[in-house]
Amino acid sequence: MMYLQKAEDSLKASQILLDNGLYDDMVARSYYAAFRLACVALHNAGQLDIENVKGRSHKWVKIHFSSFLKEKNLLQIKAHLVFLYNARDHADYNPNYSHSREEAEEVLSKLIEFFQTIKGYLNT
């Protein structure tokens, strides 16, 4: 599935951006990696037509993904998508703030845990 590949590519890009000190860009890319993977999970659960994801808001995906996590007993990562969204919002829209390396590493840690959990579900 192409959207899964895009999610995985965004994860790789996040690591490259982190390694090169581009922390705000890394934070933004990390959110999109998680967002795309959430869309894949919703698609696999029959809750989202991946071809029409453009018509769905980030809020819609977060709400439905939260219900999906509850249904699949994966609530331990519910806060991760919200954390990544808020970090991305801060990186993109707060002109007086830049993420530190430590903050970017925390973002990557949460993203990796998010990926491991959701991909573990997708592979079952």
Whether CATH 1.20.120.330 fits 2-122: yes
Q: Domain map of the chain by residue range?
A: 2-122
pLDDT tens digits along 20-78: 999 999 999 999 999 999 999 999 888 887 777 776 788 888 888 888 888 888 888 98
Cβ neighbour number for residue 100 with a 10 Å cutoff: 9
pLDDT on residue 60: 84
pTM of model > 0.85: yes
Q: Would the pLDDT of 119 be above 90?
A: yes
Pick from 34, 41, 37: nearest CA to 85: 34
pLDDT tens digits along 69-108: 888 888 889 899 999 999 999 999 999 999 999 999 999 9
Residues 6 or more apart whose Cβ sits within 8 Å of residue 72: 45, 121
CB 32 within 8 A of CB 48: no
pLDDT on residue 26: 97
